[in-house]
Amino acid sequence: MQTETEFQNNKTMLNRHFLRAKVLQSLYAYHTSGQKDINFQEKWMFNNIDEMYDLEVYLLSIIFEIKDIASELIEEGKNKFYPTEEERNPSYRFVNNPMFDRMAECEELMKNIKRLHISWHEQKEILRQIFIKFKGSDSYKDYMNKEEVTFEEHRRVIVQLFKNYIIRNASFYELLIERHFSWEDDYEYLCQVVIVLLRNWEDGDCRAKQLSTPFDNKAEDTLESDQDFMKNLFRNTAIHWDEYDSLIEKRIMNWDMDRIAFIDMIIIKMAISEFLYSPIIPLRVSLNEYIELSKEFSTEKSRLFVNGILDRIIIDLRQENRIHKYNDDEYLLENSDKEQTI
């Protein structure tokens, strides 16, 4: 089991990468929609983030539905004309899993399930097949056959159900995307969020337990909250967009600016904003993040291009004494020879 510190660190890491991707998408919309209003686009960006977290509630609600399906299957077995010995004397271990009770005690979760009017009645057959498949797994059988089970083992089997059977089911994924098309971009990330949340669910009074949120404002090792980070990154990139052209033109040599893919241009300019206006984030972290974004949103050639351009722009910004980081010794050490020879 992860410690609370590990949980918060992983959560923050996921957030920052995901929030950079959301800023990238918002900047793309800002420049292509014809709505060149920073305030409007910024508001849309944050509204989209808030609505996205409804998916977290939908994903958690599925677990309750699976419990009801498990109970129904037990009753169906008992009411057969010729039930097997197992059907006559079923084990209630899974349906009595204390994780269901602890989750039901979470007032925030139950309030949001009610707010969203979540119902899986029309999709019950899909969920039924998910549980039947899970019931045949070694994970389920080992859990059911143990003489005694700890709360950690109760929790683990719920995580295994969710991670290996619910979210990997193509039909389940499709029905969720049909409910909210924009969730297609958010699905993988929110599944990871829910897995971390479930793994850290404690036994005890869970009434005040909080669900995950898109912004971690409690981090002590940062000068800005996640929300401020996202807002500053979006605004600095939009406001200084044209200013960054000279930095890029200096390093593309025989290339024409028009030949740079627009997504790559956004990624490069976002990176420059982070180099200049996020003093707490080490250069190596920023550089790696934008290389990852180029891999996700562009091409393999773009990754190499973005990496090379940003390395050289860092050198130029250093020579102009425009980069002021609290600690980037690691990047300096790795690139000292390069900086001297280029």
The domains found in the chain, sorted by start residue, are 54-199 (no CATH), 240-341 (1.10.940.10)
The pair of three-digit structure tokens given for residue 281, joined into one six-digit string:
């984030």
- pLDDT > 90 fraction of the chain, expressed in percent and rounded: 61
3-state DSSP assignment of residue 113: helix
Rounded distance, CA 200 to CA 114, Å? Answer: 24
pTM of the model: 0.77
Q: Are 305 and 67 in contact (CB under 8 A)?
A: no
Q: Where are the beta strands (DSSP E) in the chain?
A: none
Amino acid identity, residue 252? I
- Kindly report the average pLDDT of the chain as a whole number: 86
Alpha helices, H only, 146-182: 151-161, 170-179
Q: Is the dihedral of CA 35, 40, 46, 47 positive or negative?
A: negative
Alpha helices, H only, 209-328: 226-239, 245-249, 262-277, 283-297, 300-319
Does 178 have pLDDT greater than 60? Answer: yes
Q: Is the dihedral of CA 286, 338, 268, 324 positive or negative?
A: positive
3-state DSSP assignment of residue 128: helix
Structure-model confidence comparison of residues 5 and 287, the more confident one: 287
pLDDT in tens, 213-249: 777 655 444 567 888 999 999 999 999 999 999 999 8
pLDDT in tens, 57-94: 999 999 999 999 999 999 999 998 888 888 889 999 99
